[in-house]
Amino acid sequence: MRITGRGQVTIPKPLRDRFGMNPNVEVEITPTENGLLIQKRTAARHPVDRIYGIVSGYGNTNDYIEEIRGR
């Protein structure tokens, strides 16, 4: 494979089919120690990722729970 002058790479059709890389699928490119990792971006976020960092402003989980309970 070659990278075009515009930085584009064509993923071979057998690989696109195998990994569900259909037209308009968004991908994430992550640098790794060995090169670049290309993964499909999932529409749904993991539940932990959705709430990660919320409690940090409260000091601990007990303070957060008391806050959301209105105490």
Q: Taking all residues of the chain, what is their mean pLDDT, rounded to a whole number?
A: 83
Q: CATH code at 23?
A: 2.10.260
Which ranges constitute the DSSP H helices of 1-71?
A: 13-19, 47-51, 61-69
pLDDT in tens, 8-37: 999 999 999 998 888 888 888 999 999 999
Distance of alpha carbon 33 from alpha carbon 47, whole angstroms: 28
35 with 50, same domain: the answer is no
Q: Which domain holds residue 26?
A: 1-40
34 with 68, same domain: the answer is no
> Using 50, 70 and 90 to split pLDDT, how confident is the model at 55?
low
With beta carbons less than 8 A apart as the criterion, state whether 37 and 43 touch.
Answer: no
Residue 7 to residues 4, 58, 69: CA-CA distances in angstroms? 5, 44, 51
Which residues on neighbouring strands pair with residue 35, listed in sequence order?
Answer: 32
pLDDT of residue 57: 67
11 with 23, same domain: the answer is yes
5 with 34, same domain: the answer is yes
14 with 27, same domain: the answer is yes
